[in-house]
Every structure is written in structure tokens, then in C-alpha cells.
Amino acid sequence: PSEGGKLLVVPMVGSHWLSMQEVVVKLSERGHEVVVLMPEVSWQTETTEAYKVLTYPVTQTLEELDGAF
């Protein structure tokens, strides 16, 4: 048993967010307050009520992001 805490998650572009997301949801279920900070332009658009998503502005478009990878 443990007390829930506050967590800030900042996945990088191209990171293993799909794997991380499962962990973040489990931490939320165990009482942690989780905030995920993502750029406005991102492939990671799925949201859930398990965590709060905050976005920050970026200068690139989704097309530019796709072209870079």
C-alpha cells in the first residue's frame, strides 16, 4: 500500500508512449494524480479520464512531423 502522489509525464515525439500510457493509467488507478504534457501537434491524440492532458504550442505542422520521420 502507498499514498498517491502527483506525477508529470512528458513523452517525447517518437517515444514509447503506447507502452507508457498503460503504466500511466495504472498509476492513476492506484490513486496518483497524473498530468501528461504534450505538444499541440502530436501523433499521441488519444485521451482518457485516467489522466489530464495539457498541450503546449509548437511551430511545426503534422505534415512536417510526418516528413521528419
Q: Quick one: which of 34, 13, 15 has its CA closest to 23? A: 34
Question: Cell match 513523452: residue?
Answer: 11
Total structural domains within the chain: 1
For residue 65, the one-letter residue type is: L
What is the tens place of the pLDDT at every residue in 7-61? 999 887 666 777 888 899 999 999 899 999 888 877 666 778 899 999 888 888 8
Which pLDDT belongs to residue 67? 79
Question: Cell match 501523433: residue?
Answer: 43
Range of the domain at 22: 4-67
For residue 59, the one-letter residue type is: T
Largest distance between two CA atoms of the chain: 46
